[in-house]
């Protein structure tokens, strides 16, 4: 079983001034080209074999009366974005122009793989449960890699490579931050949907049957009168 939490958007911005002695349009033309960078925070996970089945079940959100979680993988799927706005302005003409540098980090951190402490006495079942949780880890890894590749390709067109114009550098900055924020919110929402679907596919009836029958001493023997949920 996996659990996903979406992190908040983080944005920073700055805007260096141009040469005040050149004409406004000349200074605009000399601004650096817009740049967009997307990277992934390296994926890693920690193990926790100290939590009881009851605690993992509560953490998973499953109804305690009918299910018991003997394994759980949690991760935070999020992004952190830094924005640099290179801009020049003509205060007398109430106009400004600018180009952005947008750096986005996508992450699945922190990630934790839980195996119920009751399984310490059942090494075969522990390994079967761990193998299931590693499938969830692999889904997180695949979705993260795909998200980086897709966002790197789509972000320049989605935000725009063209020179941006407004009445002031402050207005330029506000517009840019809103544009980036809204675009990333939609992108992350869609990736959340994809991630949920793929994680649900891991938790198939066939997979539950595999984990439950992998060992002579089954998960049901460890937790009688309850269905074991890896």
Q: What is the rounded distance in angstroms from the CA atom of residue 162 to the CA atom of residue 166?
A: 13
163, part of any domain: yes
228, part of any domain: no
The structural domain count of the chain equals 1
Q: What is the rounded distance in angstroms from the CA atom of residue 184 to the CA atom of residue 182?
A: 6
Tell me the average confidence (pLDDT) per consecutive run of 10 residues in the chain, 230 residues long: 37 45 87 96 97 92 73 95 91 89 96 96 94 98 98 97 94 94 96 95 92 75 53
User: What is the model's pTM?
Assistant: 0.84
6, part of any domain: yes
129, part of any domain: yes
Q: What is the rounded distance in angstroms from the CA atom of residue 51 to the CA atom of residue 48?
A: 7
- Domain housing 174: 2-223
* 118: nearest Cα among 4, 207, 217, 3: 217
């Amino acid at each position: 079983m996996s659990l996903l939490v979406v992190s908040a958007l983080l944005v920073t911005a700055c805007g260096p001034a141009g040469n005040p002695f050149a004409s406004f349009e000349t200074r605009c033309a000399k601004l650096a080209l817009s740049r967009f960078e997307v990277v992934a925070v390296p994926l890693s996970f920690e193990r926790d074999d100290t939590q009881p089945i009851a605690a993992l079940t509560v953490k998973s959100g499953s109804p305690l009366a009918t299910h018991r979680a003997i394994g759980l993988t949690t991760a935070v799927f999020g992004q952190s974005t830094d924005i640099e706005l290179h801009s020049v302005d003509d205060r007398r003409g109430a106009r400004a122009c600018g180009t952005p540098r947008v750096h986005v980090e996508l992450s699945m951190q922190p990630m934790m793989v839980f195996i119920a402490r009751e399984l310490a006495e059942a090494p075969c079942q522990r390994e079967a449960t761990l193998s299931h949780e590693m499938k969830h880890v692999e889904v997180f890894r695949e979705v993260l890699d795909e998200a980086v590749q897709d966002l790197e390709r789509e972000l320049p067109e989605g935000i725009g490579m063209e020179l941006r114009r407004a009445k002031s550098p402050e207005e330029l900055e506000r517009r840019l931050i809103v544009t980036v924020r809204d675009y990333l919110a939609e992108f992350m929402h869609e990736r959340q949907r994809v991630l949920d679907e793929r994680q649900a596919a891991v938790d198939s009836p066939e997979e539950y049957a595999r984990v439950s029958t992998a060992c002579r001493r089954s998960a049901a023997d460890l937790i009688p009168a309850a269905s074991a949920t890896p």
